Structure 1
């Protein structure tokens, strides 16, 4: 995958503060960019994004100034959508499932997250760290609400859950090369089909029948410290 390219310096200008009338256009351009980055990776050009949005490349530069700034705003939008979906999922699993099943944008969000992992750039790594920070926050809220069990290592648990979820997505899609990443609906449906039930079961009941393995490991940590 190509690393995100910078817009040539002679095309990079400072983005002006958006006026109220610009906000809808700015959001439409951002959403088109999210879909392009998901479909093609972060090497997708400004012209490709503009074509998807049905505007000129100059309008994107007018609103965002540079491709890096556009990507940063896309990152924040995807993180906010993911954060909202997770919050709804903890409060009402049935509503979250309905949202996932009906909204194509969640497929684009899923592939965007995958692209961020594959990107390998500082921006991609920062995006994953934001996912982990969000997971810590909503997990701790769920613990306080009595929906999740407390953890001996809340940050470590959140990091494990995020990295395993994203890593599992990478492996699953690599096992199905017939699925085009541009087909957001199929990516979402296949992911749901393969991981929803086993994930929920695992998080609900766990795997070990008792605490002996955990206790042995905790004893080992005490002895080795």
Structure 2
């Protein structure tokens, strides 16, 4: 689930709390009691407040951790020349991301400002790794890089949320890895087809749209 601070080969108390919080919030939702997170981490609730200040502080730290995991594992696919090999490597390891994916789904379910900030963080990262993909020659340049990144991000997160395998209060993290594998196998082929073999056979609709918005015929 990404790197964690360690001393003498063991996780620090802060890292244990963060690891436990991501898993617990994924399983039971972001309203899960701090005492439950503390029990999972083998610490006191007071120590959580010492390290993170409040429940919101802990959730913000979880958000930052999840964004770091996404950044580390998405960028090599489209940026830096990793290409298909990097993508297949990530898919082969997808079961290990179950708590992170579960956490993201729970944050989206909860809504509110922190969920919006998390999505904005994903969008910001997507702008950067798509830019890297452009530099590597594997992604086409965009007229509006941020808008493209937001659409792709919201579509991906929305599809995951729609397919969430547990709409009830508890999400079984033991079952989630298998679901993630099946979900990936179902969508990767069609997505790659859409991205590499565009659905529309010509660009007349795009040209008409751009001209209607700008008053000028688009460059080809």
TM-score bracket for this pair, using the shorter chain length: 0.7 to 0.9
Match of 2:101 in 1: 110
From 75, 81, 84, the counterpart of 1:87: 75
In 1, Cα distance between equivalents of 2:213 and 2:6: 57
In 2, Cα distance between equivalents of 1:19 and 1:112: 23
Match of 1:214 in 2: 206
Instruction: Check if 1:191 corresponds to 2:175.
Output: no
Residue 95 of structure 2 contacts residue 178 of structure 2 at CA under 8 Å; is this kept in 1? no
Match of 2:172 in 1: 182
Match of 1:203 in 2: 195
Residue aligned with 1:55, SS? coil
Structure 2 counterparts to residues 18-29 of structure 1, below 5 A: 24-29=12-17
Residue 16 of structure 2 contacts residue 41 of structure 2 at CA under 8 Å; is this kept in 1? yes
Residue 116 of structure 1 contacts residue 128 of structure 1 at CA under 8 Å; is this kept in 2? no
Consecutive unaligned residues of structure 2, counting only runs of 5 or more, are none
In 2, Cα distance between equivalents of 1:167 and 1:187: 16
How many pairs were matched up? 205
Q: TM-score, normalised by structure 2?
A: 0.82
- Using a 3 Å threshold, how does the CA distance of structure 1 residues 201 and 78 change in structure 2: closer, same or farther? same
Instruction: Check if 1:130 corresponds to 2:121.
Output: yes
Q: TM-score, normalised by structure 1?
A: 0.81
Map Cα deviations across residues 158-211 of structure 1 (whole Å, 9 max, x no partner): 00000011111122237x869x73233133123212211111221122211111
> Shift of the alpha carbon at 1:56?
2.7
Residue aligned with 1:173, SS? coil
From 29, 32, 38, the counterpart of 1:44: 32
> Shift of the alpha carbon at 1:120?
1.4
Which of 206-215 and 96-105 deviates more?
96-105
Residue 100 of structure 1 contacts residue 106 of structure 1 at CA under 8 Å; is this kept in 2? no
CA root-mean-square deviation: 2.6
> Shift of the alpha carbon at 1:103?
5.1
In 1, Cα distance between equivalents of 2:104 and 2:167: 18
> Shift of the alpha carbon at 1:152?
1.1
